[in-house]
Structure 1
Amino acid sequence: MAGTGVRVDHTTTSGTFSLDGQTFDVDNNVWVVGDDEECVVIDAPHDVAPILDLVGGRRVRAILCTHAHDDHVRVAPRLREQTGAPILLHPDDKPVWELTHPAELWDADLADGQEVEVAGTRLTVLHTPGHAPGAVCFHAPDLGCVFTGDTLFQGGPGATGRSFSDYDKIVASIRARLFALPADTVVHTGHGDDTTVGAEREALGA
């Protein structure tokens, strides 16, 4: 079971998302999982300051990237500089990462089935390609939740109309990996409100 005091903290940051020559204003969710001593950060969108505020004085064990679109990794290298934490990304997202950070790399690869430990609990990596080739979700069974980035939102799958994305793949990923989780699993998304696996399973007719 999860260690004593393990919790999920949340903030929202605002900025832009750019791809294929288009730029959009977006609000991004930032999730921090840990206890009073240590934590991991899930995605580093637009601004380091609110992320550090959410972290407080805790040790950041890792910066976990759900995928490499610029509105999810823009300040990851700066957050690494300020915390000393490694950046973890699925290697299939290398071409996407290079659009934002052509001169810098992440520190370690994420792999399907990998477990990231923090504060006595574990996040299991689920490779869910579709929105991006290296998109992943982080399942925290002890906490009854999954962090889906832009793979699954309240109301359905993430967008697939741009480079490196594929609608059939994202739907297959959601059906095989996310809908296999318990129905009451809370879905913490990359943008917008929470939902549950059961609600989205019903909405997608699965």
Structure 2
Amino acid sequence: MRKKTVQPCTLLRPSRLVRPGRLSLTLGGLLLLSACSGVWRHNPYALPIARYNAGPDTRAVPSASVEAARQFMDQVGVSQYTSPDWQPGRVREVVLLTFRDDVSAMQKQAFAQRLARLTQDSRRPDGSHPIDMIEIGWEGAQTRTPIGRHFLYILQFRSEGDRHFVMGPPIVTDPQFYDPAYAAFSAFMAGLIVDRTEYGYHPAIVPGIVARSKRAS
């Protein structure tokens, strides 16, 4: 687990809504926000959010888990570590955020809009999109209106290599091997939040009693 302190559940595939959730923003709301801005897709190598100052580097002293991951990456090679076929299988990264008190609802909406666009903006040099899905939600929200200070998003990937490529620093520090779009988004996010905790995991689905009963019948 990586916890970062700095000065930033709808399922989205690159172009469609998969499942609404109790804590979700709807795709319609995100599309509306994008329509208002007049932009949906961006060149990830020239994102306007890259202009935001990421603030002081709070990761100067790596945690034990980050250092262990770097050592493993050095053993296998950064090219292999970030390749799309490295350790294939469903893997997710969950990110929990706390916004600053002075961040407005409009800023939070803009944040969610930029996050949703990552399914398109995030891509490898060959044009492929490493993010399979994004799940986003405001704590306790039953509508798309952002409330409160707490927010989470989950990125789903098709391999560990895709996850490493997108998440990049502090583990992958060579710009040739991490996604500039997500790096720019992280810089933008840093100006809005006071706390950020993230970790990767492989989901294990446990069906409920109703689901098992239907299958049995």
Question: Is TM (by shorter chain) over 0.5?
Answer: no
Higher helix share: 2
Bigger radius of gyration: 2
Higher strand share: 1
Q: Which of the five TM-score ranges fits, normalised by the shorter chain?
A: under 0.3
Asked which structure has the greater RCO (Cα within 8 Å, sep 6+), the reply is 2
State TM-score, norm by structure 1: 0.26
